[in-house]
Amino acid sequence: MIRDEQVIRYMRLRTKGTTQEQAAAKSGMNVKTARRYERAGKLPSELKTPRTWVTRPNPFAEDWPWGVAQLERDPALQATTLFQELCQRSPERYRLTQVRTLQRHVARWRAQHGPEREAIFAQVHVPGERMQTDFTHMDDLKVTINGVAFPHLLYHSVLTYSNVEAVRVCFGETFEALAEGIEAALWQFGGVPEQHRTDHLGAAIHPLTRDEQEAFKERYAALMRHYGMRPTLNNTGVAHENGDVEQSHHQFKRLVDQALRLRGSRDFASRALYERFLNDLVRRRNETRHRRWAEEQQHLRLLPTRQLEPCRELRLTVSRFSTITVLGSLYSVPSRLIGTQVLVRIRAEVIEVYVGSQKTVELPRLVGKGAAAINYRHLIWSLVRKPGAFAQYQYRDAFFPTLAFRQCYDPLQHDVPSRADKDYLHILHLAATTSEDEVQTALDLLRDSQQTPTFDQVRALVQPTPVPTLPPITVNLRPYDALLEVRHG
């Protein structure tokens, strides 16, 4: 088939005085063909006439009016769905290989008579104008930490002009994760754009009460004022208005998946190593955008003198159960705080408990509501004096910190049931006051030797390391006095 480019080249050569034979040879055409185009004075595309005939009968001619009626009723119907129905209605008339023909019929009908479709409008991005952020789930990548599943999200930030990006691992779509992600990104970028754009954060706001939603909006507005950014939101249900970060989600997750495949393993020894892996990928992606990034940096405004570090604060009184309830989840605290009013600062991943201005305890934050985090070290001092409460304690499972402690309790119940709870709690008290690892080692040794792990036997194996006594040190200052006398003398 002769292309327009060949004829154009032929014509140019002819205008330079080249013979028909030479011009045709250089253009890759037969000289007779070249002469025909030269006489016509038109390109191949201009001589082509659309085909108005068919080479074979339309197999759907009889049922096509029915198909049109279905498409007019519901334009979202797929050709495969219509074809399956036609095969059910007339199995002797159609073959499975004819589905492609019906798909072409439906495609032409949609192009000529189908509903209007929503168009996407390419945007002109201005350097330093906007940062887009959003959460994205990473569970489908099946990352594990030391063989244990690591369900998590990424808070993803993108400067829309240069497409320079930043990511931060988080575990829920909360205000604290949002705020910490924004601050981390801004300080990584080294400057502040004019706008911050995000979606309506339905997953973060909808579970909250009306008062909590208002507090969320006030804290977000305060964060924007601190950095001097103008907050903007997508229209509800229109995700592509946050298109830069949405597209970056897709591309970055695909990059992570490919890097994990190349690595040969999706398991990491620690969360820190996994985060380093992600940050290395981000750094490599950002290195490809250095030209526009250098331009955008000149338009970013200066950062404030300090980070805001926004968090929610609650004032709570520690219950007589030595617990506090924070955002619907239960946390134990040291029993010495029972009855004390404490200040609780809620961050993305931790709960900080203050007495006055002094931070007393820091706890991992639980995801969702209705969960409980009970630390045996907070309560063992009380429970060891009340061993009878252990058998029916609501959160008794929290008092088996490892499998070795669970395997210790069962033989105690079997061999010495009358003092099983008391012995076990004393063993746990020993773990809290000395070393949990050493107590676990002692339990393993007793189990291997098939001995009942009573408190006396465990205590005999856990020998605390004595603190060495150092003799008093006498400092002789006479040589220094002598030096001073010589200097002043």
Q: Are residues 253 and 279 in the same domain?
A: yes
Instruction: Work out the average pLDDT over 379-384.
Output: 92
Q: Are residues 281 and 140 in the same domain?
A: yes
Q: Are residues 155 and 292 in the same domain?
A: yes
Residue that terminates a domain, selected from 266, 297, 328: 297
Q: Are residues 276 and 205 in the same domain?
A: yes
Q: Identity (one letter) of the amino acid at 215?
A: A
CA distances from 316 to 13, 55, 327, 341 (A): 90, 82, 12, 6
- Is residue 399 in some structural domain? yes
Q: What is the pLDDT of residues 179-235, one digit of tens each?
A: 999 999 999 999 999 999 987 666 667 667 788 888 888 889 999 999 999 998 765
Q: How far apart are CA 94 and CA 85, in angstroms?
A: 11
CA distances from 245 to 167, 168, 235 (A): 11, 14, 15
- Two tokens, residue 410: 């069962």
Q: What is the pLDDT of residues 425-448, one digit of tens each?
A: 999 999 999 999 999 999 999 999
User: Residue 200: what pLDDT?
Assistant: 65
User: Residue 236: what pLDDT?
Assistant: 47
User: Residue 308: what pLDDT?
Assistant: 86
More confident residue, 1 or 178: 178
Residue that terminates a domain, selected from 337, 355, 373: 373
Confidence of residue 479 (pLDDT cuts 50, 70, 90): confident
Instruction: Work out the average pLDDT over 75-98.
Output: 90
- Two tokens, residue 201: 């954060």
Q: What is the pLDDT of residues 355-378, one digit of tens each?
A: 999 999 999 999 878 899 999 999
- Is residue 442 in some structural domain? yes
> Closest Cα to residue 198, out of 238, 165, 152, 162?
238
- Is residue 227 in some structural domain? yes
Residue that terminates a domain, selected from 245, 269, 297: 297
- Is residue 208 in some structural domain? yes
79 close to 99: Cβ distance less than 8 angstroms: yes
Q: Are residues 186 and 249 in the same domain?
A: yes
Instruction: Work out the average pLDDT over 121-147.
Output: 90
User: Residue 482: what pLDDT?
Assistant: 80
Residue with tokens 């008290």: 429
Q: Are residues 364 and 393 in the same domain?
A: no
396 close to 406: Cβ distance less than 8 angstroms: no
440 close to 424: Cβ distance less than 8 angstroms: no
Provide the 10 A C-beta neighbour count for residue 111.
Answer: 8
Residue with tokens 């159609």: 94
- Is residue 382 in some structural domain? yes
Q: What percent of the chain has pLDDT over 90?
A: 66
Instruction: Work out the average pLDDT over 7-27.
Output: 91
Q: Are residues 265 and 362 in the same domain?
A: no
- Is residue 485 in some structural domain? no
337 close to 319: Cβ distance less than 8 angstroms: no
The pLDDT of residue 475 is above 90: no
Confidence of residue 118 (pLDDT cuts 50, 70, 90): confident
Q: Are residues 30 and 148 in the same domain?
A: no
242 close to 134: Cβ distance less than 8 angstroms: yes
User: 20 lies in which domain range?
Assistant: 4-47
∠ CA 173-177-180, rounded to 5°: 155
Average pLDDT value over all residues in the chain: 89
Confidence of residue 464 (pLDDT cuts 50, 70, 90): low
- Is residue 180 in some structural domain? yes
Residue with tokens 């040969």: 264
Q: Are residues 105 and 200 in the same domain?
A: no
Q: What is the pLDDT of residues 240-292, one digit of tens each?
A: 444 566 777 788 999 999 999 999 999 999 999 999 999 999 999 999 999 99
Residue with tokens 């028909």: 20
Distance, first Cα to last Cα, the chain: 111
Q: Are residues 235 and 262 in the same domain?
A: yes
SS (H, E, C) the chain: CCCHHHHHHHHHHHHCCCCHHHHHHHHCCCHHHHHHHHHHCCCHHHHCCCCCCCCCCCCCCCCHHHHHHHHHHCCCCCHHHHHHHHHHHCCCCCCHHHHHHHHHHHHHHHHHHCCCCCCCCCCCCCCCCEEEEEEEECHHHCCEECCEECCCEEEEEEECCCCCEEEEEECCCCHHHHHHHHHHHHHHHCCECCEEEECCCHHHHCCCCHHHHHHHHHHHHHHHHHHCCEEEECCCCCHHHHHHHHHHHHHHHHHHHHHHHHHCCCEECCHHHHHHHHHHHHHHHHHCCHHHHHHHHCCCECCCCCCCCCCEEEEEECCCCCEEEECCEEEECCHHHCCCEEEEEECCCEEEEEECCEEEEEEECCCCCCCEECCHHHHHHHHCCCHHHCCCCCCHHHHCCCHHHHHHHHHHHHHCHHHHHHHHHHHHHHHHHCCHHHHHHHHHHHHHCCCCCCHHHHHHHCCCCCCCCCCCCCCCCHHHHHHHHHHHC
Q: Are residues 199 and 264 in the same domain?
A: yes
User: Residue 487: what pLDDT?
Assistant: 66
Instruction: Work out the average pLDDT over 34-45.
Output: 88
Confidence of residue 120 (pLDDT cuts 50, 70, 90): low
User: Residue 199: what pLDDT?
Assistant: 77
User: Residue 485: what pLDDT?
Assistant: 75
User: Residue 243: what pLDDT?
Assistant: 52
The number of domains in the chain is 5
Confidence of residue 393 (pLDDT cuts 50, 70, 90): very high
- Is residue 139 in some structural domain? yes
∠ CA 210-212-215, rounded to 5°: 115
Query: For residue 99, what are the contacts with CB-CB under 8 A and spacing of at least 6?
Result: 79, 80, 83
Q: Are residues 102 and 203 in the same domain?
A: no
Q: How far apart are CA 172 and CA 138, in angstroms?
A: 12
